[in-house]
Every structure is written in C-alpha cells, then in structure tokens.
Amino acid sequence: MHQSMKMKKVLRSLFQIAVFHVLLKPKAGLGSSHDYGDALSKAIIFFEGQRSGFLPEDQRVSWRGKSGLSDGWNYNTDLTGGYYDAGDNVKFGFPMAFTTTMLAWSVLEFGDVMPPNELRNALVAIRWATDYLLKTVSQPNRIFVQVGDPNSDHECWERPEDMDTARTTYAVDAPNAASDVAGETAAALAAASMAFRSSDPGYSETLRRNAITAFQFADNYRGAYSDNDNVKYNACPYYCDFDGYQEIAYYAHGVHFGACIEKFWKLNLLDELLWGAAWLRRATQDDNFLNYIQTNGKTLGADDNINEFGWDNKHAGLNVLVSKEVIEGNMYSLESYKSSAESFICTLIPESPSSHIEYTPGGLVYRPGGSNLQHATSIAFLELVYANYLTHASQAINCGNVYVSAQTLRQHAKRQVDYILGDNPMGLSYMVGYSNYYPQRIHHRGSSLPSIKDHPQFIACKEGSIYYNSTNPNPNVLVGAIVGGPDENDDYVDDRVDFRKSEPTTYINAPFVGVLAYFAANPNFS
C-alpha cells in the first residue's frame, strides 16, 4: 500500500511537470515588460487573505470570513486580529513582527512614490498587524508570542473559519527571556510609528511608546523565546531563531535543540536587539539608542559579517539600515556597519571577487531550505534601499576591482523581480493572480478548500484531506500570494503537497511591496 501511494505521487509529479513545461513554456518573443503597478496592488491585497479576526466591511478578499474570535481565551485577554503567517492557521509572533517591520520599511523608503490609494492600502495592512502587536505587549513584563497549537493545526486541513483545533495562547513572562520576538516587535512598532507619523500622530506616538517598552523587555531578559518550556515545543521547529543553513544542519545531523541554540545564540539571537535599537534610534533620534548600537556592536555580533536577512537573521538588514546614519549623517563611529553592508552587497554581484551567493541557471538568487523566494524579495529590497542611499550621497561601492553603482544594484534587483513575475525558464509568474500563468495548487488551507460563502457547512479536521490531496486547482484565488518558488534548477511542480515550494508567506510578500513600488514608479528603468 505504501509503495502504491508513493508511485501515485511520483506519477502525479511527473504529469504535472510535463503539463507545466507544455502549457507554461515562455512564448516566443515574450518581452520582460511587466505591469509593476498591478503587481504592487496584488502584493498588498494578499495580506487581506491572511487576516485573522473580525473582517471589515471593505474586505476585498471576499471568499474569506471571520476567524480566531476566541484568541487569547486561556489568558482571559483579547488577542484577536493579526495575520496567519503562511498556509496554516497559527499566528506566530516572530515572523508577524518581521513582516510588519518590512511593510513599514517599504512605506518609509518608497511610500512617496506609491499611488495614494496603494499607500493607503499599505498602511491598512501595517495597522492590521500593529493593532495585534500592541495587544501582545499590553501587559507589564509579559509578551504574547503565539496563538494556536501548530502540532494539532498541522494534523488538520481546515479553513480558518472552521478551526476546532486548540487556540492555545503562548506567553513569556519576565524574568524569562524573549529577546528575539520582543526585539523584532520593538523594531516593527518603531518602524510603523514613523509610517503613521503624518497621517495619525496619536497612533504613531502609541506605537513609539510601546516599541520602547518591548525593547526594554528584550534587552533586560536576554535569551531566545523558544528556550521557554511552555513555548519550545510549539515554536520549534517552525520559528526558532536560527537561519536556514543551521536549520538544515539541525535536522540532518540530529543536533540537540538546546545545543543548537547555545552554539548560535550570539549570532542569530542578539541581532534582534541591535535591530530593535536601530529602528528606535531612527524613530526617536534618541542618542541613547545611538550609543547602544555603537557600544554593543561587537558584543552583540554586528561585526560578524553574516550575509543573511530574513525573519530569523537581521544582520544584513541591520547593517544596511544603520548605514543610512553613516552615508547621510557622517556618523563615522558606525562605519563598521557600513563596511559590513557593502561587504554583503559585494557578495551579491556575480562579477565581484567576493561573490558567493548561488544563482539558478535562470538567474534567481538561491539558498537551500525551502521558501527560497523570501531571499530573492528581501535581497532585492536591500539593494534598492542601499541604491537610494548611494544616490543621495553620490557614492558608489568598490568590490575589489569591480565598481558597483546605484544603477548596478537596481538592475540586479530588477532581474529578481522580473524572474518572480514570469521572466524565468518556466514562463511562470510566482505571484498568484498576476499574468495568465501562475500556480493553481498552492499550499494554503483557505485557498484550497471551498469558501465558507459557497459552502457554509462545517468541514472538520480530516474532512479537508480530500481537498489537500486533490489535483484540482484551488477553488479560491489568493491574489498576490508569492509562493516558495522553484528549485535550484528553475523547476517548479504545481503541487500543494510540496509546501517548501508551493506555500506563500507574509514575509515573502512584505519586502516585495517596497520593491514593486519603486519599479511601478520607474517602469522604464533598465
């Protein structure tokens, strides 16, 4: 029976590969002209499909309904709202906070070139997250880090509107540590406070004040939130604070979790402290935060030249963010951050002698470990941000014998964007709903099950399995969702079972909002 099931899966995969190569083959003469404005709109709409809680009347993803209305029950507190991070029905605070930071950074860097309606939509997307994050830090000496039991959730294939799995709330109380989640929450609230400064000063001040409180918790009680016994087996292995390479090592070599965290604690935990402090410095202009990132840089690992950026590792983003102070403010005491940022950028340029980032044959940034497009979108974002800094100061980067200008960085970012939108060997847009050819069977419960609007009858935990295993396209189009992406050979099988390639996440989309805003405003850039 087992062999028979494996054979069926192999045959299904082979069939789908054949179909994709025939139907989605790039058409002769297809240019690389894209409607970046349309893609921007769709990238923002996606977040409405990920909403938890009571949905507003102007909800545009109409096949979704209200969900998670009892969240926070076991602490007798209101934790409704926020986002489901991916294709499941759990609210993980760590990636949600990072998503929020990146949405806010997108608005701060590129909001001035967004169409007014899309800027408004982006701010609405940010506020849906920050309203929830404010609830997570609303009680003294406590941070709520997660809602939902992922182990029971992942045993089911259910619409969020039908959830009958445990909606357990997980909190960390002082003096227990949660530097990673609290530090990222501080960054998110601080960045968002600047995004709302002109449109809603009162809300901006609330965000700023709570960002400081979250940072104090992170700094006073140092350690990983997943070290807490009440969280450990429910946050891990999903969102522990170690990067993709270390995650692979953890699984492949059977490294004990505690040993793994101990070994990489400095490198991949305390970056959130510097990240949170850097955002608070930018939001408040308080010299105390400037002193913090100056004096704690070496202690907390800023000088470790780690070329990573994502929900679990902030080093490259931190260095780019702080470089703004050096390039535009002549803050030479932070020169090491700028040097690390430019070292990172040099690794991205194939012609550079220090290049070591892998690319697929079709030109996509590639890192093993699944959900690869998170690397492509976040790297493209950092390149565009740094290009803006260089342009403002009329500077360039010297990568050994290679001269890297702002123009070079924008060209490199555009190649990643165009690949994602369809200029790739598959001829496939990896953004759902963009162009005529995009993944039809994404790994997403709400998208793959009949909408509660069309099928109001309850669908129980195991009853959803027939939809999970079906080869039919998803009945609901999750517009704007960017899936995990192709493998190292540019191949993609449209199979919802293969979550590493077919599952969308909020932290893939968030940096892409800023990237698309830039190219929508500069469509003829070459």
Q: Spell out the domains of the chain, with CATH numbers in brackets.
A: 62-521 (1.50.10.10)
Helix (H) or strand (E) holding 234: helix 229-235
| Least confident window among 167-176, 308-317, 383-392 | 308-317
Examine the residue annotation and report whether 335 is marked as an active-site residue of this protein.
Answer: no
- Cβ(513)–Cβ(44) below 8 Å: yes
Cβ neighbours for 312, distance < 8 A, ≥ 6 positions apart: 94, 239, 240, 241, 242, 243, 244, 268
Residue 96 backbone phi and psi in degrees, to 5: -65, -40
For the segment 191-216, the average pLDDT, to the nearest whole number, is: 98
For position 304, what pLDDT does the model report?
53
Cα–Cα nearest to 276, from 289, 260, 285: 289
Tell me which residue has tokens 């200029």: 423
Identity of residue 221? Y
Q: How far from 424 is each of 229, 322, 427, CA to CA, in Å?
A: 45, 34, 5
* 401 backbone dihedrals φ, ψ, rounded to 5°: -100, 15
Instruction: Report residue 443's pLDDT band, with 50, 70 and 90 as the boundaries.
Output: very high
Contacts of 88 (CB under 8 A, 6+ apart): 150, 153, 154, 445
For residue 36, which of 524, 437, 384 has the smallest C-alpha distance? 524
Question: Sign of the CA dihedral 325, 330, 331, 332?
Answer: positive
| pLDDT, tens only, 294-329 | 988 765 545 555 677 999 899 999 999 999 999 988
> What letter represents residue 379's amino acid?
I
Find the catalytic residue in 109, 241, 494, 498.
Answer: 494
Global pTM reads 0.90
- The more confident residue out of 510 and 251 is 510
pLDDT beyond 80 at 30: no
Residue 280 tokens read as: 């608070």
pLDDT at residue 306, as a whole number: 65
pLDDT tens digits for range 61-85: 999 999 999 999 999 999 999 999 9
- Residue 142: φ, ψ to 5°: -150, 140
The pLDDT value given to residue 27:
36
What is the maximum span of the chain, computed from C-alpha positions, in angstroms? 68
Residue in this structure with the two tokens 């209101």, named with its chain if needed? 78
For residues 156 and 165, is the Cβ–Cβ distance under 8 A?
yes
Contact 169, 144 (CB under 8 A): yes
Token representation of residue 2: 């087992």
Comparing CA positions, the residue from 124, 116, 118, 104 lying closest to residue 56 is 124
pLDDT in the model for residue 31: 42
Per-residue confidence (pLDDT) for residue 7, from 0 to 100: 40
Alpha carbon of 254 to those of 232, 234, 290: distances in Å?
17, 18, 40
Residue 201, number of CB atoms within 10 A of its CB? 11
- pLDDT number for residue 32: 54
Residues 127 and 194: their CA atoms lie apart, in Å, by 12
User: What is the spatial distance between Cα 289 and Cα 278, in angstroms, rounded to a whole number?
Assistant: 7
Within 8 A by CB and 6+ apart from 290, the residues are 281, 325, 331
Q: Is the pLDDT of residue 356 over 60?
A: yes
Distance CA 287, CA 131 (A): 28
Q: In this structure, are residues 224 and 241 in contact, taking their beta carbons and an 8 Å threshold?
A: yes
pLDDT at res. 205: 98
Is 494 annotated as catalytic? yes
**Cα–Cα distance for residue pair 471/481, rounded to 1 Å:** 19
* 380 confidence band (pLDDT: 50, 70, 90): very high
Instruction: Identify the top-confidence range among 5-14, 179-188, 334-343.
Output: 179-188
Check pLDDT > 50 for residue 248. Answer: no
| DSSP β-ladder status, 169-173 and 358-359 | unpaired
Q: What is the sign, positive or negative, of the torsion defined by CA atoms of 364, 365, 370, 371? A: negative
**pLDDT band, very low/low/confident/very high, at 2 (cuts 50, 70, 90):** very low
β 365-366/142-147 pair status = unpaired
The DSSP code for 27 is: P
- Residue 138: exposed, middle, or buried by beta-carbon count in 10 A (0-12, 13-18, 19+)? middle
pLDDT higher than threshold 70 for residue 267: no
| Catalytic member of 443, 444, 490, 498 | 443
